[in-house]
Structure 1
Amino acid sequence: METFESLVRAEFAPKNTYLNTATSGLLPARAVTALHDAVQIRADGRPLDPLFEDVEAARAAFARIAGVPVQRVAAGASVATQTGLIAAALPAGAEVLTAEGDFTSVVNPFHVRGDLKVRAVPLERLAESVRPGTALVAVSAAQSADGRIADLPALREAARTHGTRTYVDFSQAAGWLPMDAGAYDYAAATCFKWLLGPNGVVFLVVPEDHGGLTPLLAGWVAAENPWDSCYGPVGELARSARRFDVSPSLLSYSGLRHSLALIEELGVEAVRAHDLALADRFRKGLVSLGHEPLPAPGAPIVSVPGLGRLRAELSAAGIEVSDRAGNLRASFHLYNTEQDVDRLLDALSG
C-alpha cells in the first residue's frame, strides 16, 4: 500500500529548496508526462478529442475537491475574468464589501466598473461589516500576502442575515483547505498554485440558477452542443455552468487532470496536516531566532516582516521564497520536508 510519503516521492524531485507554492506550485511527474503526451498529439497532427476529454476530466475532479456538482463548475483562464463576470452582474450603485489589501484580481474588477460602491475593511472585521444593502462580499479564503484565513462561517451567517451574496476566491487555499464551495454564491480558484497544475486554468463555481450572471465571454464552447455552434450566434447556451466557459488552453488541462488526481489520492486533509506541521515548525524556529512572523494561524503561508530583502540572496543559495511588500513569504506544501524548513532557518540564522 502506498503511503503519503511514497506517493509524493514518486512525483517530485525538486533541484532546490522550493518554499514558494503561494506563487506557483511544482508540477508532479505524472502531469509532466501528460503534458509531453499532449504536445506530441499536437505535433503529430492527431485528433484533439483526448485533449477536450481532459478538460471535462479536470472539471469533474475539481468539482469533487470543491464539494459541488460538476454542473456548477465553469472553466476559465484567470481569477480577474471570473471576478469581472460577477462585477458585471451588479446593478449600478450596488455596495461591494472587500477586505483591505486583498489580492488585486479579487477586488479590482469591482473598482473599474466606476459605478459601484466598493468598501474595504480589515479582514478580521469583514463579517461584522456586512450590513443591510450590501449586495456582495468578496474575499480570498486565505490572503496571498500573509496567509491569514477569512472567517468564512461567520461571513456566511452575516450574509444570510442581510441577504448578501458571497464570492470567495480559494486560489491560496484549494488543495490544502477543505473548500465546501457550495456554501457560497460564487467561488473561484486558480489551479497553478496549491492544486499543482499548469498555468492557464481557473474554475468558477456558480449557483444552480447561475446567480444572475450573464455569459459575456461566451463563444462556441459555451453552447449546449459546442461542435454544432461554431458559426453565427449560439442557438442554445449550455444549461450548466459551462455556459460561462471560455475557449480552453488544452495543454494545461491535460496536465491538470493528473495533478488533481494526485490531490484526490493524497486527500486534502492529509495535505493540510503535512503543510501546517511544516509551517508551525518554521514559526517556532523564527521565534527562536528573534523574528516575529505575521499572525496567520492555521495557514501554510508564513510572512516575516523586514526580511523580504533576502529573497535574491536565498535564491542564489538554492532556497526559493517570495518578497511581498518587504516581507519574506515562505509557503509549505506536500513536497516539502522538515529538512527544507531547517535549511531556511539555518540560512536566516546567519
Structure 2
Amino acid sequence: METFESLVRAEFAPQNTYLNTASNGLLPARTVTALHEAVRLRVDGGPLDPLFDDVEAARAAFARLAGVPAARVAAGSSVAAHTGVIAAALPAGAEVLTAEDDFTSVLNPFHVRGDLKVRAVPLERLAEAVRPDTALVAVSAAQSADGRVADLPALREAAREHGARTYLDFSQAAGWLPMDASLYDFTAVTCYKWLLGPHGAAFLVLPEDFGGLTPVLAGWVAGEVPMNSCYGPVTELAHSARRFDLTPALFSYAGLRRSLELIEEIGVDAVHAHDLALADRFRAGLRGLGREPVPAPGSPIVSVPGLGHRQSELARAGVQVSERAGRLRASFHLYNTPADVDRLLDVLSG
C-alpha cells in the first residue's frame, strides 16, 4: 500500500519552495500526462467522447469529496458564474448577508444586480448578524486574504433559525478541509487551488429541487440529451443539476479527473493533518521572529502583517508566497515539507 509520502513524491517535484497554493495549486504528474493525452486526442482528430467522459468522472469524484450525489453537482468554469445564477434568482429587495472583504467572485454578482440589499459584516459576526429578513448568507468557508475559517456550525444554525438560505464558497477549503455540501443550500468550488486541477473547472452543488434557481446560462450541454439540444431552445432540460452546466473546458476536466483521483487516494483527512501541521510550524517560527500572524486557527493559510513587501525578495530566493492586502500570505499543501517551512523562516530572518 502506498504511503502519503510515496504518493506525493511520485506526483510532485517542485523546483523551488512553493508556498502559494491559495493562489494556484501545483499540477500532479498524472494530471499533466492526462492534459497531454487530451491535446494529442485533438491533434489526431479523435472523438470527443472520452473528454466528455472525463467531465462525468470528475463530477462523480467531486461529489464523493463533497458528500452529495453526483446528480446534485453542476459543472462550470468559475465561481463568479455560479454566484451569478444564484443572484439572478433572488427577488428584488432581498437581503444578502456577506463577510467584509470576502473574495470578489462571492460578492460582486449580488452587487451588480442593483436591486438587492447587500449587507457586509466582519466574518466573526456573520452568524449573529443573520436577521429574519435575510434571504441568503453568502461567504467563503476560508477567507482568501488571510485564511480565517468561518464558524460554519454557528452559521448553519443562525440561517436555520431565521429561514435564510446559505451559499458557501469552498474554493479555499475543498481539498484540505473535510466538507459536507449537503449541509448548505448552495456550494461552489473552483478547482485550481487545493484540488490541484487546471484552470477552467468549477462545480456548484444544488439542492435536489434546485433551490428555485433558473438555469439562465444554460446551453446545449444542459439538455437531458445534449446532442438533441444543439438547435433552437432546449426543450427538455437535464433532470439533474446538469441543467446548470456550462459548456465545459474539456482539457481542464481531463486533467481535473486525475487530480481528484489523487486527492481521493491520499484522503482529505490526511491532507488536513499534514497541511495544518506545517502551518502551525510556520506560526510558531514567526513568533520566534517577533511576528504575529492574523489569527486563523485550523487553517493552512497564514497571513503576516507588515511583511507583504518581502514577497519580491522571497521570490528571488526561490520561495514563492503571495502579497495580499499588504500582508505576506503563505499557504501549505500536501507537496510541502517541514524543510519548506524552515526555508521560508530562514529567508525572513535575514
| TM-score (structure 1 length as normaliser) | 1.00
Is 2:145 aligned against 1:145?
yes
Is 2:243 aligned against 1:217?
no
Specify the alignment match of 2:2 in structure 1.
2
SS of equivalent to 1:154 = helix
- Distance in 2, matches of 1:43 and 1:145, equals 40
The root-mean-square deviation of aligned C-alpha atoms, in Å, is: 0.5
Is 2:46 aligned against 1:43?
no
Specify the alignment match of 1:277 in structure 2.
277
- Distance in 2, matches of 1:190 and 1:229, equals 27
What per-residue deviation string (whole Å, max 9, x for no partner) do you get for residues 33-81 of structure 1?
Answer: 0000000001000111100000000000000000001000001111111
Specify the alignment match of 1:26 in structure 2.
26
SS of equivalent to 1:237 = coil
Specify the alignment match of 2:310 in structure 1.
310
Specify the alignment match of 1:240 in structure 2.
240
Alpha-carbon shift at residue 247 of structure 1 (Å): 0.5
Specify the alignment match of 2:164 in structure 1.
164
Specify the alignment match of 1:177 in structure 2.
177
SS of equivalent to 1:97 = strand
| Alignment-mate amino acid for residue 104 of structure 2 | T
Alpha-carbon shift at residue 336 of structure 1 (Å): 0.1
Alpha-carbon shift at residue 312 of structure 1 (Å): 1.1
Structure 1: gaps spanning 5 or more residues: none
Q: Which moved more, 1:296-305 or 1:227-236?
A: 227-236
What per-residue deviation string (whole Å, max 9, x for no partner) do you get for residues 258-286 of structure 1?
Answer: 00000000000000000000000000000
Runs of 4+ in 1 over 2 A off after TM superposition: none
Specify the alignment match of 1:122 in structure 2.
122
SS of equivalent to 1:292 = coil
SS of equivalent to 1:215 = coil
Specify the alignment match of 2:229 in structure 1.
229
Specify the alignment match of 1:106 in structure 2.
106
| TM-score (structure 2 length as normaliser) | 1.00
Alpha-carbon shift at residue 153 of structure 1 (Å): 0.6
Specify the alignment match of 1:94 in structure 2.
94
Alpha-carbon shift at residue 110 of structure 1 (Å): 0.5
| Alignment-mate amino acid for residue 119 of structure 1 | R
| Alignment-mate amino acid for residue 148 of structure 1 | R
Is 2:246 aligned against 1:268?
no
- Distance in 1, matches of 2:87 and 2:46, equals 40
- Distance in 2, matches of 1:214 and 1:288, equals 53
Specify the alignment match of 2:62 in structure 1.
62
- Distance in 1, matches of 2:38 and 2:99, equals 40
SS of equivalent to 2:188 = strand
- Distance in 2, matches of 1:132 and 1:232, equals 43
- Distance in 2, matches of 1:45 and 1:308, equals 48
- Distance in 1, matches of 2:258 and 2:104, equals 29
- Distance in 2, matches of 1:167 and 1:229, equals 30
| Alignment-mate amino acid for residue 171 of structure 1 | S
Alpha-carbon shift at residue 229 of structure 1 (Å): 1.0
- Distance in 1, matches of 2:303 and 2:102, equals 15
What per-residue deviation string (whole Å, max 9, x for no partner) do you get for residues 136-181 of structure 1?
Answer: 0000000000000000111111111111000000000000001101
- Distance in 2, matches of 1:218 and 1:189, equals 19
- Distance in 1, matches of 2:76 and 2:37, equals 23
Specify the alignment match of 2:80 in structure 1.
80
- Distance in 2, matches of 1:329 and 1:152, equals 23
Specify the alignment match of 1:52 in structure 2.
52
- Distance in 2, matches of 1:325 and 1:173, equals 20
- Distance in 1, matches of 2:160 and 2:133, equals 12
- How many residues matched? 350
What per-residue deviation string (whole Å, max 9, x for no partner) do you get for residues 222-271 of structure 1?
Answer: 00000111111111000100000010000000000000000000000000
- Distance in 1, matches of 2:34 and 2:330, equals 29
- Distance in 2, matches of 1:47 and 1:159, equals 47
| Alignment-mate amino acid for residue 316 of structure 2 | A
- Distance in 1, matches of 2:105 and 2:47, equals 35
Alpha-carbon shift at residue 87 of structure 1 (Å): 0.5
- Distance in 2, matches of 1:248 and 1:329, equals 31
Alpha-carbon shift at residue 306 of structure 1 (Å): 1.1
Structure 2: gaps spanning 5 or more residues: none
